[in-house]
Structure 1
Amino acid sequence: MDFDALISKLDLATKVNLLTGADMWSLPAVPGIGLKRLVMSDGPIGVRGEQWSSADPSIAMPSPTALAATWDVDLVRKVGGLLAQEARRKGVHVLLAPTINLHRSPLGGRHFECFSEDVHLTGEIGAAYVEGVQGGGVATTPKHFVANDFETDRFTVDVKVTDKVLREVYLRPFERVVGAGAWGLMTSYNSVNGTTMSEHSDLVNGVLKREWGFDGFVVSDWTAVRSTEPAAVGGTDVAMPGPNGPWGEKLEEAVREGRVPESVIDDKVRRILRLAHRTGALGDLDEPVREEIDGIALAREVAARSFTLLKNDGGLLPLAGVNSLALIGSAADEARIMGGGSAQVFPDRIVSPLQGLSERTVEVRYALGTDPRVKLSPIAAESRAFFLDASGEVLAEHAVPNSEARWVGQAPSDVDVERLAAVEIRTAYTADAAGEHQFSISGVGRFTLTAGDTVVFDDSIAPDGDDPAVAFLHAPERRFPVTLDEGERIELTLRQHAVSSFNGMVLIMFTLGHANPTLGEDELIAQAVATAASSDVAVVVASTTLEVESEGFDRKSLKLPGRQDELIAAVAAANPRTIVVVNAGSPVEMPWLSEVAAVLLTWFPGQEAGLALADVLYGDAEPGGRLPTTWPVTLEDCPVVDVTPVDGAVPYTEGVFIGYRAWARGDVAPAFWFGHGLGYTEWGYNAVEAGNGSVTVSVTNTGSRRGREVVQAYVSGEGRDRTLAAFDVIEAGPGETVVTTLFLPERAFQEWEDGAWHTANGSYTVEVGRSYADIRLSDQITL
């Protein structure tokens, strides 16, 4: 398609208008050249669409750390295909994913949203994700370019990092996904060496566009563009969201006055038109016939393949001959299936561990044990949302699946935003237990809560802190006790009196929460211990919470929240056949590790969590996961933890030594090394031969059942520490031998020196094995 011919038909005002969002999630249409509205949506575990609301459900896949834990690029490619299918269903052209920042510190708040501590694994999984989504005709925007590896002061922080470290570590995954053909890329909020990334011409124009030959579009993170000329000439192509912002008329004036060349504007428009053509928003695109992907089945398969068995004393798993199973923990009943923030989607079903395990013939005995959650959950009953004008007249009414109101950027299409003054959630609750029930408001603004005929609250709730994302995504909570008899029904209405907006975007985010009367924590733990003691096996599901792992803030510690560590230790003392299921997106401390029989890491497992857990616990599926990041014993042992700016900056003084590369140089061993994971069979490594840019490995399944193995190849040389260079997932039945050839990339033998990549000639050791610390065979090659 002749994009230049189309550009020649546009006047300057139209071209500049194309560079800023028409609203929260889209770029404007230009009917005169056949350009349709271009729609973007958050990911990465699903496609939320334009409505940040449970009224528009989405398939919820496992978290990115779970995807990386599969080490399976073909499976991740299939996930990408499913996400493209979801995007097409919702009219989305651009998926704002994947996140390929690194696990530099375990305290990183969005650790769960990134893949790994390792540059090669991150790049390969990221490339497969990009290829899968774009193979379905939907664009991706790998993010956040670059060095956005923590959340504290993310809008303003300056990352101090050398060119060598940028090239060898933080830019490497982006280089890989650009090589895989990414159609877009998102810049980050932070600065790098004094220049904010939305204005960083050296990295965006110089490295990304010229050196790497990137022909896609560069979109800012939302509200990250804060200047006119510097951002325009710095390489950013699209400033989101809109329609307000620092471009528009100001940018048009800068072009007319010669401060920004019109050729710069034309290049941005050309990239947008290319994007539109690729995604079917410009001209006629022949849609291929694609096989429908079963999202529910795929979510279940990926979850099981990601589950990582850290410990399995005595071969307790898979379970056999079990008649009674104690299932303990709040996350067993209400699964933590995803991390918080922009990665959140709203599935139309969530299968909890309690539901999944209860489908088995074994007797399941549930006990709460302890509840680490800080905020109350919404009432799980169909509710009604009413949109009101200043006089109280109803502008629109919508059914919502629970007592949560959430519309971000845009109100429903039938709401007159100019007249919108208030939003109400109306619902009813029938008490299933007598006593003091807790109801809550979670939100920012002025609210009135009415329970029956009583006004329970009528006041304002102020935000905590000054980060707008935290203010709305993690709003403060107020609780109110209401005494009810069993079976008593109460009508509830929660009104937010003034609808918040930001740069013309509607922000409706508040929740009416509820909790039943409950025993005290001591009584709950004692009840769980008694349940465990009387059962054949105890399974404790331990989890982090939204207040621990989410966008907008970093973690303060790696301890499980609440009294979960105490609960696990008490249950293990009562039943030596205790299995701990860790439902977390990133590392947690496990002080009870030596006291329990088995530990299974399920990450944030997506909507089919409970069924996948049952599959793995009972051996219908093997836990296929291997750690994509090293897990410490304690936070104090970690070689890199710093996420707190000093004088506005975080220096990456550790250089290239993050993850296992840093652990290997220290004196303290982690709890579990990068690449670790047990299956339900055993593997023998027979032979290895390296040469001509590849390594061939022979592996035999020496166990009694079919299984999968992740063959990992590491390269080291004189003065060069051991790093992952290649991997492959193989499958074999009992007694079967598989021979696999892994290709070693050129970058595995290169260093960045004096402004260029250099291959260091000499002797290299290629080591293969089951993890960084479990090397089985090695060979030498000479370059």
Structure 2
Amino acid sequence: MVLTRQVAVAAAILASVGLTGAQNTTNISSDTFFYGQSPPVYPAPIAKGTGDWAQAYAKAAAFVAKLTLEEKNNLTYGITPENGCSGIIPPIERLGFAGMCLQDAGNGVRNTDFVSSFASGIHVGASWNKTLAYDRANAMGNEFKKKGVHIALGPVVGPLGRLATGGRDWEGTSNDPYLAGAMAGETVKGIQDAGVMTSLKHFVGNEQELYRNPGVDSENHYVESISSNIDDKTMHELYLWPFADGVHAGTANIMCSYNRLNNSHSCANSKVLNGLLKTELGFQGFVVTDWFAQHSGTAAALAGLDMAMPDGQSFWGANFTEAYLNGSVPESRLDDMATRIIAAWYKLGQDSPSYPTPGIGMPANLSEPHTIIDARDPASRSTLYEGAIEGHVLVKNENKALPLKSPKLLAVFGYDAPAPPQYMPNGNSLLTNPFTTGYESAFNQLSLAFSSTEIDWPSQLQIASNGTYSVGSGSGANSGPYLSAPLDALQQRAMKDGSVVYWDSALQPGLAGLYEAADACLVFINAFASEGMDRPGLHDDYSDNIVQTVASTCSNTIVVIHNAGVRLVDQWIDHPNVTALIFAHLPGQDSGNSLVDLLYGDAVPSGKLPYSVPKNESDFANMLRHSYAVPPYAYFPQSDFTEGVYIDYRAFDAHNVTPRYEFGFGLSYTTFSYSKLAISIVKGARTGTYPTGAIQEGGQVDLWSNIASVSAVIKNTGSVTGAEVAQLYIGIPGGPVRQLRGFEKVRIKPGQEATVSFDVTRRDLSEWDVGAQKWKLQSGVYNIYVGASSRNLPLVGTLRI
């Protein structure tokens, strides 16, 4: 059956006021998504505390049994924080529950002092280093804990990056679900090993910022949040995939998203929460709203929502106890909500008397006198530095322009080179133009006013023009103890080796005499992105003009881009004087130090692109622009994900589009060769069509069993020690030409070899069978590729199942 868009919109209207789904308690979890409809799945599963949750659930059940109805209810929604926490659950002092502090963000503790600013998500993705991802997460977790935070609001795997101009793509690690999932799993383990819960977000389909929340347009019309309309197969093979990794790693919390999913609000979507998350993935933790993403009371509770933030009194609160007393919501649902929350508290050891007081290091106002809690650990300094180093990606290096060879005079150009002159870069302060304050509101008003047309955005809005860009903007940002800007670090290097650095950081460089005199001209530009607004485009005229102006005279022009997402370079990349290009991403507090060490060869580049860089905007097709609300659905914006799983390199492969730089690409100061591909079926592996195991965290347990093993030998054929990211791609019959299914980063000395091995699971080889509602392992031949990027795959073989 096909539901018309008109019926879907009507259903969305009803859902938005909490009038659908609550009365239908039929479990139809086997039903699938199709555009515009999200089938009801009721009742909400009651968690049993399986696996390593058993002990925590036993304690939680005993705890909840002692609670009054009001105390249970008070666990499920936040109250207005009186400290610097983003959200607060109040204490239950008579039972020794001190309460909970929820706090941003994905690259360090936000809205406080004496914490570190780690490399952002996109930078971690560009490192392709799972060990580093864990170490970074563990160091962040320790800082969250010292500040009295119970739930760190990250990591991000949604948005996945379907939209190349997505404002929050930088918070995630990659638009490939395998890479994103692997890094999310390591991040969950790292933070939670420190005793802090992760909040894996935003679940699910949150792929654009425009219309992310309901609002009012310029004519005072109510406009709903965007509906991401995703079919069942695409949901499983793309957008749900990295969430499954995070659940498998044990995340205690999932944050539901602002958008609607097939015309049902994600935080009240029973198919998503009850069906996909709590039933299919066996999620044992609790679900919290994104801030102010709750739009119904009874309906949201029945659909599987467990906690509302930051203040749930408008829909739940004291009056919501009536819903349990009159039977609208069974008390067993409330018990499950409270038990899930308390079980997570026990599982992370947060009941310990030694756990810091909630929000103790989160002062409400940093400008007022407050107790200083220094959360930093000297042992994490190497992690901060290496994290900054490894996310830089060298993509062009003509005539061995890099590393620099004892230059006497360096000329530095571009607005991105110096430190910001006015504010410590905490993200929002980098906004220059109309969005310095109230940026989301301003953007939404502009967007709604032009909702039926393509907006001609000024190119200034694409850059952070008042200093170097080390972290993106919005709730994902934080401030470190210092910022090493590129220009500062270059001057320190000049002081050390007796060289000279001159600079011109104006938008229009005027010191033409420097171009010819310098041994090298370094041009620093950036690509800005923020929560609350999608990027206006993938390049800007101001920045391109700086590069072209310098390159017109300077024969050794080296470009560095601090980019919060894909950035086009074809306007100047083929200029014969542009000798090198580095995508420097968002390195955090050690930005300049790490970059200078790479420029001078004290460190060797090893990053790889976690996305593709096309030659033109048109190469991205519908992956470039966000969806607008157009008649006849202007007040219920729709975004049909009609491309299915074909985003980024999958789309380029399918449509035979040659990117400028492909997914997984990155250069080094050395070279590597690949040989000795070996492929084998794991002895005793069960290769039946469908998994048969019990559901545990992440899905049926045998989905994670190894089916095959692939190995290869990598040799350093150059003259310096370097690290290579060996990548495994598999062609699943009937699917994309190739999909990433493994990667390993190895450090190798000149002339030496290293063997890399990839474990291939049942899940890695399966496709989602919509009819069977299971992952299907097909019989047949699978193409196996191993190499240095998605289009440099010298080793090719086959695997027969």
CA contact (8 A) 2:59 2:343 kept: no
Cα distance between partner residues in 1 of 2:147 and 2:783: 50
Helix, strand or coil for the counterpart of 2:203? Answer: coil
- 1:400-438 Cα shifts (integer Å, max 9, x gaps): xxxxxxxxxxxxxxxxxxxxxxxxxxxxxxxxxxxxxxx
Deviation for aligned residue 1:262:
0.5
Which residue number in structure 1 is paired with residue 89 of structure 2?
Answer: 27
Which residue number in structure 2 is paired with residue 67 of structure 1?
Answer: 124
Kindly tell me the number of residue pairs found equivalent between the two proteins.
619
Which residue number in structure 2 is paired with residue 616 of structure 1?
Answer: 598
Which residue number in structure 2 is paired with residue 43 of structure 1?
Answer: 105
RMSD value, Cα: 1.7
Which residue number in structure 2 is paired with residue 569 of structure 1?
Answer: 548
Cα distance between partner residues in 2 of 1:364 and 1:662: 47
Distance change in 2, residues 1:294/1:245 (3 Å): farther
1:246 partner letter: F
Deviation for aligned residue 1:757:
1.3
1:664 to 630, 653, 664: 653
Deviation for aligned residue 1:226:
1.6
Cα distance between partner residues in 2 of 1:139 and 1:2: 18
Which residue number in structure 1 is paired with residue 383 of structure 2?
Answer: 298
Deviation for aligned residue 1:284:
5.0
- 1:278-310 Cα shifts (integer Å, max 9, x gaps): 3343255799xx995534432221111111001
Q: How does 1:129-140 map to 2 (within 5 A)?
A: 129-140=187-198
The reply to whether residue 184 of structure 1 matches residue 253 of structure 2 is yes
CA contact (8 A) 2:678 2:710 kept: yes
Helix, strand or coil for the counterpart of 1:565? Answer: helix
Cα distance between partner residues in 1 of 2:517 and 2:376: 49
Q: How does 1:171-320 map to 2 (within 5 A)?
A: 171-242=240-311, 244-284=313-353, 292=377, 294-320=379-405
The reply to whether residue 651 of structure 1 matches residue 645 of structure 2 is no
Helix, strand or coil for the counterpart of 2:510? Answer: helix
Cα distance between partner residues in 2 of 1:179 and 1:279: 16
Cα distance between partner residues in 2 of 1:2 and 1:324: 67
Helix, strand or coil for the counterpart of 2:396? Answer: strand
Which residue number in structure 2 is paired with residue 84 of structure 1?
Answer: 141
Deviation for aligned residue 1:190:
0.7
CA contact (8 A) 1:63 1:338 kept: yes
CA contact (8 A) 1:72 1:728 kept: yes
CA contact (8 A) 1:43 1:97 kept: yes
CA contact (8 A) 2:114 2:376 kept: no
TM-score by length of structure 1 reads 0.77
Cα distance between partner residues in 2 of 1:113 and 1:366: 34
Which residue number in structure 2 is paired with residue 602 of structure 1?
Answer: 584
Which residue number in structure 2 is paired with residue 323 of structure 1?
Answer: 408
2:526 to 521, 543, 565: 543
Cα distance between partner residues in 2 of 1:18 and 1:668: 52
Deviation for aligned residue 1:357:
1.3
2:788 partner letter: R
Distance change in 2, residues 1:139/1:220 (3 Å): same
Q: How does 1:345-494 map to 2 (within 5 A)?
A: 345-360=478-493, 361=497, 363-371=499-507
Helix, strand or coil for the counterpart of 1:331? Answer: coil
Which residue number in structure 2 is paired with residue 553 of structure 1?
Answer: 533
- Bigger proportion of residues as helix: 2
Cα distance between partner residues in 1 of 2:504 and 2:208: 33
Cα distance between partner residues in 2 of 1:724 and 1:763: 17
Distance change in 2, residues 1:243/1:202 (3 Å): closer
Gaps of 5+ in 2: 1-57, 82-86, 214-224, 357-374, 420-467, 682-707
CA contact (8 A) 1:765 1:780 kept: yes
Deviation for aligned residue 1:40:
1.0
Q: How does 1:579-728 map to 2 (within 5 A)?
A: 579-590=558-569, 591-595=571-575, 596-639=578-621, 640-646=623-629, 647=633, 648-692=637-681, 693-720=708-735, 721-728=737-744
Helix, strand or coil for the counterpart of 1:574? Answer: coil
Cα distance between partner residues in 1 of 2:145 and 2:475: 20
1:113 partner letter: E
Deviation for aligned residue 1:702:
0.5
Gaps of 5+ in 1: 372-520
Distance change in 2, residues 1:581/1:223 (3 Å): same
Distance change in 2, residues 1:251/1:666 (3 Å): same
2:721 partner letter: R
Which residue number in structure 2 is paired with residue 141 of structure 1?
Answer: 199
2:518 partner letter: S
Aligned-pair identity (%) = 32
Distance change in 2, residues 1:364/1:663 (3 Å): farther
The reply to whether residue 763 of structure 1 matches residue 781 of structure 2 is yes
Cα distance between partner residues in 1 of 2:741 and 2:768: 17
Q: Which moved more, 1:748-757 or 1:618-627?
A: 748-757
The reply to whether residue 774 of structure 1 matches residue 797 of structure 2 is no
- 1:327-378 Cα shifts (integer Å, max 9, x gaps): 111211022110000012121200100111112125343333434xxxxxxx
2:414 partner letter: G
Distance change in 2, residues 1:190/1:624 (3 Å): same
Cα distance between partner residues in 1 of 2:289 and 2:498: 52
Deviation for aligned residue 1:2:
2.4
Q: Which moved more, 1:215-224 or 1:315-324?
A: 315-324
Deviation for aligned residue 1:716:
0.8
CA contact (8 A) 1:680 1:707 kept: yes
The reply to whether residue 124 of structure 1 matches residue 260 of structure 2 is no
Deviation for aligned residue 1:736:
0.4
Which residue number in structure 2 is paired with residue 534 of structure 1?
Answer: 517
The reply to whether residue 733 of structure 1 matches residue 733 of structure 2 is no
CA contact (8 A) 1:369 1:526 kept: no
Helix, strand or coil for the counterpart of 1:729? Answer: strand
Helix, strand or coil for the counterpart of 2:547? Answer: helix
1:159 to 214, 223, 228: 228
Cα distance between partner residues in 2 of 1:291 and 1:314: 42
Helix, strand or coil for the counterpart of 1:125? Answer: helix
Which residue number in structure 1 is paired with residue 32 of structure 2?
Answer: none
- 1:247-303 Cα shifts (integer Å, max 9, x gaps): 11232111111000111001111111112213343255799xx99553443222111
Cα distance between partner residues in 2 of 1:559 and 1:618: 28
1:29 partner letter: P
1:219 partner letter: V
2:134 partner letter: R
- 1:160-180 Cα shifts (integer Å, max 9, x gaps): 110111011100100111011
CA contact (8 A) 1:228 1:250 kept: no
Helix, strand or coil for the counterpart of 1:208? Answer: helix
Helix, strand or coil for the counterpart of 2:233? Answer: helix
Cα distance between partner residues in 1 of 2:717 and 2:239: 39
Which residue number in structure 1 is paired with residue 24 of structure 2?
Answer: none
Deviation for aligned residue 1:314:
1.1
TM-score by length of structure 2 reads 0.75
Cα distance between partner residues in 1 of 2:128 and 2:413: 30
2:413 partner letter: I
1:231 partner letter: A
Deviation for aligned residue 1:635:
1.3
Deviation for aligned residue 1:5:
1.9
Which residue number in structure 1 is paired with residue 36 of structure 2?
Answer: none
